[in-house]
């Protein structure tokens, strides 16, 4: 019988060979759960640690865990885990905040450039059997464009470094940013003190916020109406940051020119057809993905489990 029991609550990776090999070194058995919440809980209730991706772990789930010491989430956000309930039960919660920074920044830049250069309209022109630039007008030179970043964490900072070489100006709104972080930011980045000020003064907005009660619905009809009608919105963070109905209305009514989404609310969308509106570019929550990023996530999340079970310090505790 193994010394420890570690349960994967929802398996999304091609294999869990990385986890199994690492955990074997501390005599830990790895069990991959399947089924719905109740089936997973039956398997997980006697676990010493959980590895988690999307499965919600609420207060009732936490209270059913008999000896769990840590819930290690493979991703960055932890909005699917009740952090207070876990802390009250003396269960550490960890994430991997730095595993896909390069990938998400690159994906965000791709969406931004595609919208600013009006690639969706260009592709539709050719599909319609036409060969002219009528549908793509107007396009502005990138050196005349300002991009606004809402939130300035690791991903946004990496994205911001990629904009000046293209001639793009960058404006940031982040009410939680320290004075030191502002002082050490790239010289090409400027800061504003209000979301409304940013929305009304830029050609593109990119969201880089965690999902919290305060940020849910951060971009709704009122905020979209503040943006210039030629502007575009990109969201590669969390779907509920944006009121999807308000966004679709803004695109259809011409209040907003374009939007690039890698995340929506809910996921998966109940009706993908409603996302196929002019000006909307949607990808299936893939910004985080590269083979290297997946392996890094598996390695780092499993390391947090091992550190907890062997009494070592944690790298990424969030509660």
Taking alpha carbons only, the member of 32, 34, 41, 70 closest to residue 309 is 70
Q: Is 267 a catalytic residue?
A: yes
| 279 phi-psi bin (left φ>0, alpha ψ -120 to 50, beta other) | left
Pairwise CA distance, residues 264 & 283, whole Å: 10
Active-site annotation holder among 37, 226, 285, 317: 285
DSSP state of 129: T
Extract long-range pairs of 266-269: CB within 8 Å, 24+ residues apart. Answer: 266/239, 267/239
Pairwise CA distance, residues 111 & 261, whole Å: 8
Q: Is 230 a catalytic residue?
A: no
* Strand 258-261, strand 232-235: pairing: parallel
**In contact, 74 and 33? CB cutoff 8 Å:** no
Stated as kind and residue range, the H or E segment containing 76 is none
Which tokens is 187 given? 């010289």
Active-site annotation holder among 5, 169, 208, 238: 238
Return all residues near 47 (Cβ < 8 A) that are at least 6 apart: 5, 6, 7, 31, 65, 67, 68
**Per-position DSSP letters for 202-271, written without gaps between them:** -SEEEE-----TTTTT-B-HHHHHHS-TT-EEEE-S-GGGB-HHHHHHHHHHTSSSEEEES--SSSS-S-
Pairwise CA distance, residues 73 & 26, whole Å: 20
Active-site annotation holder among 267, 274, 292, 312: 267
Q: Is 84 a catalytic residue?
A: no
Catalytic residues: 238, 267, 285
């Amino acid at each position: 019988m193994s010394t420890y029991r570690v349960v994967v609550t929802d398996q999304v990776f091609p294999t869990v060979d990385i986890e199994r090999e690492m955990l074997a070194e501390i005599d830990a058995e790895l069990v991959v759960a399947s089924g719905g919440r109740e089936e997973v809980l039956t398997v997980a209730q006697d676990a010493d640690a959980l590895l988690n991706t999307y499965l919600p772990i609420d207060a009732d789930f936490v209270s059913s865990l008999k000896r769990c010491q840590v819930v290690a989430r493979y991703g960055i956000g932890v909005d699917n885990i009740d952090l207070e309930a876990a802390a009250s039960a003396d269960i550490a919660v960890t994430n991997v905040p730095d595993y896909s920074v390069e990938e998400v920044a690159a994906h965000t830049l791709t969406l931004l450039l595609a919208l600013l250069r009006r690639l969706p309209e260009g592709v539709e022109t050719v599909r319609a059997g036409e060969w002219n630039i009528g549908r793509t007008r107007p396009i502005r030179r990138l050196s005349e464009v300002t991009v606004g970043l809402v939130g300035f964490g690791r991903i946004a900072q990496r994205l911001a470094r990629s904009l000046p070489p293209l001639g793009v100006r960058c404006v940031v709104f982040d009410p939680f940013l320290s004075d030191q972080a502002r002082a050490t930011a790239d010289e090409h980045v400027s800061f504003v003190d209000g979301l409304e000020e940013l929305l009304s003064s830029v050609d593109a907005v990119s969201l880089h916020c965690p999902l919290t009660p305060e940020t849910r619905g951060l971009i709704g009809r009122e905020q979209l109406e503040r943006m210039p009608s030629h502007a575009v919105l990109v969201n590669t963070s969390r779907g509920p940051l944006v009121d999807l109905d308000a966004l679709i209305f803004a695109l259809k009514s011409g209040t907003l020119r374009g939007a690039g989404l890698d995340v929506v609310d809910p996921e998966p969308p109940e009706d993908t057809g409603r996302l196929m509106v002019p000006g909307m570019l949607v990808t299936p929550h893939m910004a985080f993905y590269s083979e290297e990023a997946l392996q890094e996530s598996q390695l780092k999340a499993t390391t947090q489990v091992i550190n907890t079970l062997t009494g070592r310090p944690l790298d990424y505790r969030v509660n």
